[in-house]
Structure 1
Amino acid sequence: MANFKSNASVILSQKVPACRNCDYCLWHEKFSDIALHCDGLIEASLIEPIVGVQEEWVQLFQFEAVEQLNIFLRKADLRSVLSACEEEFGAKIQQQVIVNTKQMTVPATIVVFERVKPDRIRGYKKWLGKIGEAAESHPGFLGRELLKPIKGLQDDWVIIIRFDSEENLNLWLSSPIHKVLMEEAESFLERVQYKKIGRGFEDWLAHARGIKNSALPPQWKMAMLIILALYPIIMLISIWILPLMENWKSAMSLFVSSLISVSVLTWVAMPIVTRVFSFWLSGGEEVKTKTTIIGASIVVLLYLMAILLFVSL
């Protein structure tokens, strides 16, 4: 039985005519608005089609626990939006759930869903070892996760492969060894589906709505939130860390302090800040002016509070 405290994700995919791409981005906002009102949301992403790899648009919603994902999937307004979206584009939305995943915010990730013939499981497991070794030896490989089928939740074997860049991921997918191994797997696989979840360092604010880069919130909002998160980190480093390195060369101490500040900013501060200010980053048109004023005012007030706090230390 699945651990209901484990991370769980749902991947929604749909084929959309190329002339309707902008329309689909607006529909993704409707899905994301529903997800943002659910507890435990970790990730919301929109991935456009990739020539030669995936024909569909893909939406990823990841939650802290299976029970929270199930609440999202059972919401009446989600079912209503799913039906309306299918009617709008005349194409069925495929839904795939994966359980026990790590957070998929890394530079480039490919999720492979494989339906294995029941009588070929043993051969499939041996093949997994071969393709795993080949991927690990490929430039830019970061890690691999294998998720076995879970009755009632996840029908396919799921392989999540992470690379340090889009370029290295694409090189792996197009490499001769990958093609040879995928041809070898045809005898024991009923089907294979690829879903690309690639994103990089620049997408901090995708936590707010998960939309693609060109549609992210305005740069001034990004700058304000980055300053809000970065200022306390820099001040704390200057108070607690830099005195420990006072005898170091400035080049080395600056490098270490930069390493600490960027790491904390990326993996701790920005995910928290973007979640807290999701209302500001993703308000609908009817509340756009109101949320802009409220959000900016709160950020400025927090600036002043932080300055007063560190001045008093």
Structure 2
Amino acid sequence: MMQAFQRQDSSHASLIVEHTVPKGKGLSFRFWHANLTRSAKKYPGFIRTDLCPPVKGRDLKWYSIIHFDTPEHLNQWLKSDDRETLIQAGQDLFESYQFKSFNTGLEGWFSTKTGTEHIGFGPPAWKQNLAVVFGLYPVVMLQSMVFTALGIMHGWSPSIAMLINNLITSSILTWIVMPFVTRLLGFWLVPAYQQSDQQKDVLGTVIISLALIAIAALFMTVE
């Protein structure tokens, strides 16, 4: 399995990639990673790559860190045909392959999928926050109203009831609500590394704000 996490700071953007390499394929993986580095060097903004082998006797996980000067340059290489060719060539070295990147921690709800890759360079943090509130608010309100009306968890310890409620809410968000929200607001949830259309930014923000006000008004009428 291969997982990746994006980190950005004031000087560069880095991608930390976790590879699970079967025993006996470590040397081949080193050669493959060297080819990956040579490929990345051809792209603007490349700084360096670091490779950390697995802890001896512990696991089969290798960590590769790829550094570029900006998220835009990193993304350019990530979407390149050269990288795709190398990934395909390295399939025999990986038991499975999954790509994810995170910055705020919410990108998993806003990631796009290409084949077996999940590319999670999400929209700006303020858009992520507003979109999550747009999805979360009606779920929490409906869940509270239904549970109260049916007496579900009535008399339970508050700490246990809150834990169960949070598990239910987060599950509904992850598998039902947020996939719908990201599709609905796809025109507005532009990845942070891309220049967004100001008119669409305003339109999306107004739509969400009005929708939240309307939902709040609706809940007030049925309380």
For residue 220 of structure 1, the aligned residue among 111, 121, 126 is 126
**Which deviations, in whole Å up to 9, do the C-alpha atoms of 1:49-107 show, x marking residues without a partner?**
965658798xxxxxxxxxxxxxxxxxxxxxxx9xxx55xxxx4741878xxxxxxxxxx
1:240 pairs with 2:146: yes
**Which deviations, in whole Å up to 9, do the C-alpha atoms of 1:284-309 show, x marking residues without a partner?**
53x52111111111111210221122
Superposed CA RMSD in Å reads 4.0
Q: Take 2:91 and 2:138, find their aligned partners in 1: how far apart are those partners?
A: 42
Match of 2:44 in 1: 20
Classify the secondary structure of the residue corresponding to 2:44: helix
Q: CA deviation at 1:232?
A: 0.9
**Which deviations, in whole Å up to 9, do the C-alpha atoms of 1:240-283 show, x marking residues without a partner?**
12432221121121111111111111222112211221211227
Change (3 A) 1:50 1:211: farther
Gap runs ≥5 in structure 1:
1-13, 23-47, 58-80, 98-111, 116-157, 161-194
1:113 pairs with 2:85: no
Classify the secondary structure of the residue corresponding to 2:111: helix
TM-score by length of 2: 0.54
Q: Take 2:126 and 2:52, find their aligned partners in 1: how far apart are those partners?
A: 33
Match of 1:207 in 2: 111
Q: CA deviation at 1:216?
A: 3.1
* 1:197 counterpart letter in structure 2: F
Gap runs ≥5 in structure 2:
1-35, 54-61, 67-75
Match of 1:267 in 2: 175
TM-score by length of 1: 0.40
Q: Take 1:275 and 1:233, find their aligned partners in 2: how far apart are those partners?
A: 17
1:94 pairs with 2:85: yes
Match of 2:23 in 1: none
For residue 99 of structure 2, the aligned residue among 188, 193, 197 is 197
Moved over 6 A (4+): 54-57
Aligned residues: 156
Q: CA deviation at 1:18?
A: 7.7
